[in-house]
Amino acid sequence: MPVTGGAPQAPPTPQPPGLNIVVLDPAHGGTDLGARGTGGIRESDIVLEFAAQVRGALEAQGFQVIQTRQGNANPSFDDRSAMANAQRGAIFVTLHIATTGVAGTARVYVMNDLPLAADSTGLIPWDRAQAPFLSLSRKLGDLVEGNLAQRFKGSPTFAQTASVRQLRTTAAPAIAVEVSSVTVEDRAELDHMAPGVADAIARGAAAFRPSYIVPTNPGERP
Ligand SMILES: [Zn+2]
């Protein structure tokens, strides 16, 4: 653009970076096998396989994906949260295979209400890091659950609330996705769900993207 006046042109204001990172948490791992089914199905194994497909679907939507574990490790809850809390412009998705629920359905959970009490320093205590993000988490959760409900009949229409340990300490929009269930006799029933679950998470995250104005500093309140 030509400069018409004598005043120096202000440098272009940098666009605030938007949501572009998904921290993907295949739950359990290591000695923690998670839920176990009668057919020898282990939650800790299946969530890793789901994660590979979710990752592919998210990358196809332009997201950078950081996994909390690649192989059979078992990072602590705090380590997993810390990976999300260190990012700027990230959401957190933890993957589980449930012991309950009708086989072939999937539910999204968001953390139930946490009191937003700050301590005397004005800082939000670590174990309530999720509190300022609850409404964003619900929005993300509803978008993902809506996509899941279209693919997996009998799934709820909206995200449910629960006390989910991995979400509590996460300072980012955060959801848990639970696929039902480890009680299927043939694990192929679960394998067949993975592409649909991956697609629903990726579409939900993409739909959520414009509504998340990313805080300037990591861990800052939205
Ligand atoms: Zn689990």
CA-wise closest residue to 211 among 5, 26, 18: 18
Determine the distance separating the centroid of ligand 1 and the alpha carbon of 19, expressed in angstroms.
26
Q: Looking at residue 15, what is its pLDDT? A: 43
Q: Looking at residue 3, what is its pLDDT? A: 45
CA-wise closest residue to 101 among 48, 37, 169: 37
Q: Looking at residue 60, what is its pLDDT? A: 97
Determine the distance separating the centroid of ligand 1 and the alpha carbon of 178, expressed in angstroms.
8
The CATH number linked to 32 is 3.40.630.40
Q: With respect to residue 70, please indicate whether it lies within any of the assigned structural domains.
A: yes
Determine the distance separating the centroid of ligand 1 and the alpha carbon of 32, expressed in angstroms.
10
Determine the distance separating the centroid of ligand 1 and the alpha carbon of 136, expressed in angstroms.
23
Count how many domains the chain has: 1
CA-wise closest residue to 158 among 148, 168, 170, 173: 148
Determine the distance separating the centroid of ligand 1 and the alpha carbon of 98, expressed in angstroms.
6
Could you report the per-residue pLDDT of 184-196, keeping only the tens digit for each?
989 999 999 999 9
Q: Looking at residue 59, what is its pLDDT? A: 97
The residue to which tokens 């997201």 are assigned: 63
Determine the distance separating the centroid of ligand 1 and the alpha carbon of 34, expressed in angstroms.
5
Its pTM stands at 0.88
Helix, strand, coil share (%) of the chain residues, nearest 5:
35, 20, 50
Q: With respect to residue 12, please indicate whether it lies within any of the assigned structural domains.
A: no
> What is the extent of the structural domain holding 185?
21-114+123-211
Mean pLDDT (10-residue bins), the chain, 222 residues? 53 64 97 90 96 98 96 93 92 96 97 75 80 95 98 97 92 97 92 98 97 70 70
